[in-house]
Amino acid sequence: MSRIGKKPVKVPAGLKVELSGSKFKIVGSAGELSLNIHPEMKVAYDAGTAEITVTRPNDTRLCRALHGTTRALIANMVAGVSKGFSKELKIFGTGYGVKEQGKELLLTVGFAAPASVPIPAGIKVEIKAPSARGNDVPALFSVRGVDKQVVGQFAADIRRVRPPEPYLGKGIRYGDEVVKRKAGKAFASGGGG
């Protein structure tokens, strides 16, 4: 049995769970999410114990793969609608910065014009420090939402605009990301004739 798959998912008080056929929906204070469950998986909600369990009919390769995945997706949905997910990002570089304009995020990261990234529905961007000061004090902002996959993908799309380079560390990086720095070229003095 899948160790993750057989663990029940605890549903905190205040969340509303709806199960109809292969459609799973959960509503909480932060928002609502729904998931189409694979026909092979059986999802049950016990209102008495406030737990969701996922079971599989047999041990075929497909069922074993889906068991833990389905349970993990449901656990992420429960966490998302109750607390939400956030991803911190930093921008390092002189003159680099971030600005929210309408439904787009404008990133000034050393190109001729600011790069714009469309903000997906249900995502909130919170800018703490709009511009970087040198390579030491970064521009700080965070991406928040109820869907873990959408938050992570949007953060990855932002980072892809200007990944951090290894010499000065300029670029966009996640809040907890550590960039391994390389030494620049060392010029030998003297000689050569």
Give 85-99 pLDDT, tens digit per residue.
999 999 999 999 999
Q: Tokens representing 99? A: 């600005």
* Percent of the chain with pLDDT strictly greater than 90: 79
Which CATH topology does 9-82 take? Outer Surface Protein A; domain 3 (3.90.930)
- For residue 151, is it left (φ>0), alpha (ψ between -120 and 50) or beta? alpha
pLDDT score at 21 = 86
* Confidence class for position 183, pLDDT limits 50, 70, 90: confident
Residue among 6, 1, 15 nearest 44 (CA): 6
Mean pLDDT in residue range 140-146? 96
Identical fold for domains 9-82 and 85-174, yes or no, is yes
Mean pLDDT in residue range 46-50? 92
Strands 139-145 and 124-129, by their bridges, are: antiparallel
Structural domain spans, the chain: 9-82, 85-174
Does the domain at 85-174 match CATH 3.80.30.20? Answer given as no
